């Protein structure tokens, strides 16, 4: 009766909310290493705003139901580009956050720089570098769509933040003397 309780596996859902495309990515930590579970995009059809927001809510609720994440991670928004895009992003973001809260899930937030730093080693990395490194770290056979890759990067950031880990070296990546990974 002295057995250690079995810890449930950590499953992290990363979300990249947007009014037109919301990316999501799910990873599981297996022996403290991130393993790809699922990723994709929720694309909203044309129609009334509330119907598009309901599609985001329903899509994320389906992801939660299918993949049962234990933790959720989103990008922190520091400064939106302009009031109009901030309002649109805010609406999608509010829906994503409340959907998670309504499913009893807590949310961690990471700044864009932290996310890029975590997966590429460089806070100023561009989108294609993030896509490339996510593909390499998770050993994917194909490059995920950009928003899905961002969501996976957000999930990976949370995995690394909890473990104090750097990005896992990818096939073909070499460690530079600075300690960063280079493809």
Residues classed as catalytic: 16, 75, 147
Q: Give the Å distances, CA to CA, from 123 to 26, 98, 118.
A: 22, 29, 8
Q: Which of 92, 130, 149, 173 is the binder for a copy of itself (CB under 8 A)?
A: 92
Q: Which of 48, 65, 164, 178 is the binder for a copy of itself (CB under 8 A)?
A: 48
Q: Which of 21, 35, 38, 86 is the binder for a copy of itself (CB under 8 A)?
A: 86
Hunting for tokens 């939660």 — which residue is that?
64
At its nearest, how many Å lie between a copy of itself and the CB of residue 68? Answer: 18
Q: Using CB under 8 A, count the residues that bind a copy of itself.
A: 34
Q: Give the Å distances, CA to CA, from 80 to 21, 22, 85, 155.
A: 17, 17, 7, 21
Q: How would you classify residue 164: left for phi > 0, otherwise alpha for psi between -120 and 50, otherwise beta?
A: left
Stretch in the footprint of a copy of itself (CB under 8 A) among 101-109, 129-137, 145-153, 171-179:
101-109
Angle ∠(133,136,138) on CA atoms, nearest 5: 105
| Rg (the chain; Cα; Å) | 17
At its nearest, how many Å lie between a copy of itself and the CB of residue 85? Answer: 8
Q: Which of 57, 110, 160, 181 is the binder for a copy of itself (CB under 8 A)?
A: 57
- Contact between 94 and a copy of itself by CB under 8 A: the answer reads yes
Nearest-angstrom CA–CA distance, 145 and 161: 24
Residues near a copy of itself (CB under 8 A) are: 48-51, 53-54, 56-57, 77, 79-95, 97-102, 106-107
């Amino acid at each position: 009766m002295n057995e250690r309780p079995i810890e449930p596996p950590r499953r992290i859902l990363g979300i990249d909310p947007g009014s037109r495309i919301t990316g999501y990515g799910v990873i599981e930590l297996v022996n403290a290493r991130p393993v790809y579970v699922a990723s994709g995009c929720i694309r909203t059809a044309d129609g009334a705003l509330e119907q598009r927001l309901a599609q985001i809510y329903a899509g994320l609720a389906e992801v939660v139901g299918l993949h049962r994440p234990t933790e959720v991670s989103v990008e922190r928004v520091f400064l939106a580009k302009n009031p109009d895009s901030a309002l649109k992003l805010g609406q999608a973001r509010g829906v994503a956050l409340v959907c998670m809260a309504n499913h009893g899930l807590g949310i961690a937030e990471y700044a864009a720089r932290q996310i890029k730093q975590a997966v590429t080693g460089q806070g100023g990395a561009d989108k294609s570098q993030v896509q490339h490194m996510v593909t390499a770290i998770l050993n994917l056979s194909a490059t995920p769509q950009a928003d899905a890759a961002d969501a996976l990067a957000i999930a990976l950031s949370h995995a690394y933040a909890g473990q104090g880990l750097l990005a896992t070296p990818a096939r073909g990546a070499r460690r530079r003397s600075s300690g960063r990974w280079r493809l």
